[in-house]
Amino acid sequence: MIKALASKALYSISILWGVITLCFILFYVFPDAEDMMVGQRADLQTKQAIKEELGLDKPVFIRYLNYLKQLSPIGIFSKPDIPKNWYEISLSENNSIVFKNPELGRSYQNRRSVVNILMEALIGTLILAGVAMTFAFIIGILFGIIAALNYQNLIDSLLLFLSTLFISVPSFFSSIIIAWLFGFIWYQYTGLPLTGSLFSIDMESGKQVLTLSNLILPAIALAVRPVAVITQLMRTSVLANLESDYIRTAKAKGLPPYLIILKHTLKNALNPVITAASGWFASMMAGAFFVEYIFNWKGLGKVLIESVQMSDLPVVSGGVIYIAIIFIIVNTLVDLSYKYLDPKLR
């Protein structure tokens, strides 16, 4: 168990290291960062000053090491460079081992710490994705079971047709349609806003208020494809399970149909669904970018797209690293959930 965890951790760290290195090459080696910071009008002296401040005049390898040092939670620094809020263990006269929060630098645009910007945005995305995924799982599993139990009749065909349709629709398109229909055309019935974030500014008091109604449309838009995918996976999986010997045993025991489905089919059928659906978390995140942008939902996707437009490299590279971390965590959780669902893996 410990060995498995250790190898898993090592694997995750090496993936993260790969992503970080790639980020460095893409965002810091190729482009001229000082041009992006100051725009077209600055004179040479200003550019030189910025270059020195960011250490861009140093060789690439040194910059890479500095970049890693900045990101790593543990590192060796010379004493004068250490800010007060870092925890340090003195090594020699000049150097200390330091434990700190990983740093991602500051935004070129507004000089705010990238960690703060991304953390704020991350919460928005996690809430949106979490609600959408929960919704997708509940509805998808339900529809999948309904389709399987009505195998090859009208309800099954209808669900199969709809899910195939929704798998094929890209999320930016379904987002626009959903926003237009429910937030504009039928606004008088739904009362749902076209765009907005989790917190909105109250016009009278000027305070931030939690606005859950803003969550509904983007969450549905984001869930459309996963619902369709999970419906189809679940349908196939339940059908395969209903054929198995232990279902025959359950029938022979005289259990009522609802117990056969809930107790004997569901758990066994879920395993392949979760395996396959976890692969879809990736495209969920990609979908979230467009959905957030279209619904003006304050989240990682929106922040990243805006930063790309403004060439705010520290935010973009930090965002990519965040997404990599999210993937690693999600995949680990999925692995752990197999162990619960399939006792043979324990």
Partner 1 sequence: MLTEPLLDLQKLKISFKSPFGKTIEAVRGIDLSIQRGEVLGIIGESGSGKSVTFLSLMKLLSPNATVEGKAFFNFKDNFSSDLFALKPQELRKLALRNIAYIFQDPLAALNPSLRIGKQMTECILEKINSEQKKIKCLQILEDVMPGLSERAYNSFPHQLSGGQRQRVMIAMAMLNKPDLLIADEPTTALDPEVQDNILNLLLQMVRKYGTTLILISHDIRSVADFCDRIAVFYQGKMVELGTKNDIVSKPHEPYTKALLSCRPNQSNQGFYLSTIKDFMQNEVPAPQKFPDLHISENSLLDAIDVSQVYNKKFKALEPVTLRIKKGECIGIIGESGSGKSTFAKILVHLEKPNSGTLVYADTLTPSKVQMVFQDPFASLNPAIPVGDAIDEILKIHQPQLNKRERQNRIFALLKETGVDESLSNKKPAAFSGGQRQRICIARALAAEPEILVCDEAVSALDISVQAQVLNLLKRLQFERGLSLVFITHDMNVAKHICNRILILKNGQLVEQGETAELFENPQNSYTKKILSYYQA
Binding site for partner 1 (CB under 8 A): 244-246, 248-256, 259, 263-264, 267-268, 341-344
Q: CB 269: neighbour CB atoms within 10 A? A: 25
CB of residue 344 to partner 1, shortest distance in Å: 5
Of the two residues 112 and 263, which places its CB atom closer to partner 1 in the complex? 263
Q: How far is the CB of 343 from partner 1 (least distance, A)?
A: 4
When the beta carbons of 51 and 267 are compared against partner 1, the nearer one is 267
Residue 147 Cβ vs partner 1, minimum distance, rounded to whole Å = 16
Given the complex with partner 1, which of 187 and 246 has the nearer CB atom?
A: 246
Query: Shortest Cβ distance from residue 146 to partner 1 (Å)?
Result: 18
Q: Which is nearer to partner 1, 134 or 244 (CB)?
A: 244
Q: Which residue, 203 or 252, has its beta carbon nearer to partner 1?
A: 252
Tokens, residue 72: 């790593």
Nearest approach in angstroms of CB 4 to partner 1 is 15
